[in-house]
Amino acid sequence: MADPIRVAVVGTGYWGVNHVRVFENDADAELVAVCDPAAKALARARRLAPRAAHIERFADVLANDRVDAVVLATPAVTHADLACQALAAGKHVLVEKPLALTAADGQRVADAARDAQRTLMIGHLMIYHAAVDRIRALVDAGELGELFYLYAARVNLGRLRTDENALWSFAPHDVSMIDSLLGELPVSVAARGQAYLQPDIEDVVFVTMKFAGGQMAHVHLSWLDPHKERKLTVVGSQKMVVFDDVSPEKLRIYDKGYDRPPEFTQFDEYLTLRQGDVHIPYLSMQEPLAVECRHFLDCIRSGEEPRTGATSALRVVQVLAAAQRSLELDGVPITLSAEL
């Protein structure tokens, strides 16, 4: 049996502490260090991982020869610089979403990973959800037919962020899912939002994406809403799918739509409404974060590109950066190019 991969988790706050829990319980990993400058956060991590070294300074993690891989669960504004430092120190890196706040910074991290010949993976958690796996399989098999449009809602009355707006806090989840299903950069992105609770920090944002093939995608994001919704709807020419992460029944597949007969004699026969069954498939549910972390370890061993590696993460960052620019221009569409 191969030796466990030695991991350090940097940032043990609201989300990072979950990485501490998962890696502490993964037999293929050894959690050798946790790092956070905040005493309270470090104490919480100590209760979950009492055998790990408890470190306040990031530089001490980088200098530790026992650390093979670093998980960065720090504020988004720090991701690019800390990831580049870790890669330069010879560490494999799993950085939480988003990879960076600009496309240029994202490319800088991707280049650093290539130069260091180390694994770089981004924590786009929803890509490791069993329901998203099933939707991707349906799309790849052509069961939905031609994809028409997608729309998502990620809203609740919940935790305010002071370091990023609702776009950067929530949209990486939905944009990464849309990117996974369509596999291409939109040709334009438009976004409008408003800051009601804190100056210059939008707590509600609406994003619309248009794609070269005619598909559209729309995302509603808010932490100021009476509902808690985590929902993605995919509409195809043959079937439609709804992924509701709040519901016990995560996935519903609707055999509904309009059929276009090959021949017709009257105008009302041109499009025929099809009302088929609604199928609720069985999903073998595993914690998406545990699946994500295990995939990171597997990619370190195999050298393969992660499912949420630099290629897809750079597209996500480009979309988010364009949406932010559009937001600042009160909804003016921003044209995107594959060239960074």
16-57, pLDDT tens digit by residue? 999 999 999 999 999 999 999 999 999 999 999 999 999 999
- Report the 10 Å Cβ neighbour count for 228: 13
**127-287+318-335 has which fold?**
Dihydrodipicolinate Reductase; domain 2 (3.30.360)
Residue-averaged pLDDT of the chain: 93
The pLDDT value given to residue 262: 60
The span from the CA of 126 to the CA of 148, in Å, is: 21
Alpha helices in 117-214 (DSSP H): 130-140, 166-182
Q: Can you read off the two tokens belonging to residue 308?
A: 């949420």
The pLDDT value given to residue 161: 86
Averaged pLDDT, 116-142? 97
Task: List the chain domain ranges.
Answer: 5-125, 127-287+318-335
The span from the CA of 204 to the CA of 161, in Å, is: 12
245-302, pLDDT tens digit by residue? 999 999 999 997 777 666 555 555 565 566 778 899 999 989 999 999 999 999 999 9
Averaged pLDDT, 127-134? 97
The model's pTM is: 0.92
214-259, pLDDT tens digit by residue? 999 999 999 999 999 999 999 999 999 999 999 999 999 999 777 7
Confidence check: pLDDT of 2 > 60? yes
In words, the CATH class of domain 5-125 is: alpha beta
The pLDDT value given to residue 316: 97
The pLDDT value given to residue 338: 58
Q: Can you read off the two tokens belonging to residue 285?
A: 């549910």
Averaged pLDDT, 333-339? 81
Is residue 310 within 8 A of residue 95, CB to CB? The reply is no
